[in-house]
Every structure is written in C-alpha cells, then in structure tokens.
Amino acid sequence: MPQTFLGGPGKTLLGEIARDQVTPAETKLGLVSLLRLGFAAGEGVSLTFPRVDRKNAESLAAALQPAPVA
C-alpha cells in the first residue's frame, strides 16, 4: 500500500506476495520500530512503525517467524 502524508497506509493495494515467499530479515523494536522483509525473488522492503503503533509491529514480526518444525 502507498503511504499517506502522515505515514499511515493508503487505500489502494499495490500488489501481493505469497506468505511462503516472505521472510523476516531484520527487526528493531524501539521508539520507531523497523521490520525489514525479504522476498524469494531477492527483493525486499522496510516497514516503519511509529511508537504508538509498536504493538502492530510486534504482532507482524511474530506472525512472520517461521513455524516450528515438528
């Protein structure tokens, strides 16, 4: 999604990537939280979350962790 002027998500979806092609590359949780995601095609994206949205950053980081092998 594009970013709004104030940093929130825009209303249009620019594209989709299958979950199995996304891996967490880096997570920094702090005053401004940062999640770097890698894609199977070698590309990636960085997502930043303001302090007030830290819980969403934590939730997304937890959801992107690989499932434990049984």
- Domains of the chain, first to last: 19-63 (2.40.50)
Contact 34, 28 (CB under 8 A): yes
Q: pLDDT at position 7, please?
A: 65
More confident residue, 21 or 68: 21
User: Both tokens of residue 38?
Assistant: 């890698």
Q: pLDDT at position 34, please?
A: 92
Q: pLDDT at position 28, please?
A: 92
User: Both tokens of residue 30?
Assistant: 């702090």
Q: pLDDT at position 44, please?
A: 84
pLDDT in tens, 2-61: 667 776 677 887 778 888 888 888 899 888 999 998 887 778 888 888 888 889 889 988
pTM of the model: 0.68
